Amino acid sequence: MKKQGDLLLPGDELSIIEEFTPGEGTYEYEGKVYSSVVGKAFYDMINRRSNSISFKKPGFLPLKKAKYVIGLVTNIKEDSALVSVYSIEEKPLNVPLTGYIHISQIANKYLNNINEALKVGDIIRAKSLNFSLPLPLTIKQKDLGVIYAKCSICGTKMVKKDEEHLRCPNCGNIESRKIALLQVKKGGN
Ligand SMILES: [Zn+2]
């Protein structure tokens, strides 16, 4: 099997489908996944997909120009959160890209624990620091962070209490998050 980031030519074998299903820039033939483009191997460990990210892929150009991406927090480790990026700005991706946020890229203040700012299942607005895969994301900026979160007690969609806390309208539970503070247009109530 190829390694993460290996150069691929069309027809190069990426995996067998039992290990990784075919993703972006690939095709399946007789139980194996092959690259259909000249690109770079990307094994998505979360979704168990093998992808061949084309060097010419137009999808990466919007990513470079994008003001933000939208993703789902899928796992939290000691020093980073894993994110499944499913949309570039408002444009959904056919195949989600894996990203991660290092603890130092979450807030401007010191965090003891990522769970003070993010939880699995949160939907976030983030920015990519560069375009290698998995995407290194940041949510430090004021307008980046959690845009949707569910109460960890009862599952209700939480509402903003203040700049750092969400409140559950159902059970009253309060949780802290790095909340995306989106600018509200002035003038029109
Ligand atoms: Zn609740």
- For residue range 53-111, what is the model confidence (pLDDT) as tens digits? 776 654 565 677 788 999 999 999 999 999 999 998 888 887 888 999 999 999 998 99
State how far the Cα of 19 lies from the Cα of 38, in Å rounded to an integer.
Answer: 22
Kindly list the protein residues that place their beta carbon closer than 5 angstroms to ligand 1, a single-atom ion: 151, 153-154, 156, 168, 170-171, 173
Question: Peptide bond preceding 92: is omega within 30 degrees of 0, i.e. cis?
Answer: no
How far CA 111 is from CA of 103, 114, 140, 144, in Å, comes to 7, 7, 12, 17
* Long-range contacts of the stretch 79-82 (C-beta < 8 A, 24+): 79/103, 79/114, 80/114, 81/106, 81/114, 81/118, 82/46, 82/134
81 or 11, which is more confident?
81
Cα-to-centroid distance, 148 and ligand 1 (Å): 14
166 and 158 in contact (C-beta within 8 Å)?
Answer: yes
CA 174 to chain centre: 25
3-state secondary structure of 67: coil
Residue 189 — very low, low, confident or very high, per pLDDT cuts 50/70/90?
Answer: very low
Q: Domain spanning 7-54 has what CATH number?
A: 2.40.50.100
3-state secondary structure of 94: strand
> Do 7-54 and 61-146 come out as alike in CATH topology?
yes
Residue 168 — very low, low, confident or very high, per pLDDT cuts 50/70/90?
Answer: very high
Q: pLDDT value at position 57? A: 52
Cβ count near 75 (within 10 Å) = 12
Of 17, 122, 139, residue with least CA distance to 72: 122
Cα-to-centroid distance, 139 and ligand 1 (Å): 25
Domain spans in the chain, listed from the N-terminal domain onward: 7-54, 61-146
Q: Which two tokens stand for residue 171?
A: 């059970």
Give pTM, 2 decimals: 0.69
- For residue range 36-48, what is the model confidence (pLDDT) as tens digits? 887 889 999 888 9
Q: Give the helix ranges, DSSP H, for the chain.
A: 60-65
Give residue 83's identity as a one-letter amino acid code: V
Annotated binding-site residue numbers: 151, 154, 168, 171
- For residue range 21-31, what is the model confidence (pLDDT) as tens digits? 999 888 888 99
Q: pLDDT value at position 114? A: 96
Annotated binding-site residue numbers for Zn(2+): 151, 154, 168, 171
Residue 188 — very low, low, confident or very high, per pLDDT cuts 50/70/90?
Answer: very low
Residue that the structure tokens 């194996």 belong to: 32
* Long-range contacts of the stretch 15-18 (C-beta < 8 A, 24+): 15/43, 15/50
Question: Rounded to a whole number, what is the largest CA-CA distance in the chain?
Answer: 61
- For residue range 139-166, what is the model confidence (pLDDT) as tens digits? 999 999 999 999 999 999 999 999 999 9
The CATH superfamily holding the domain 61-146 is: Nucleic acid-binding proteins (2.40.50.140)
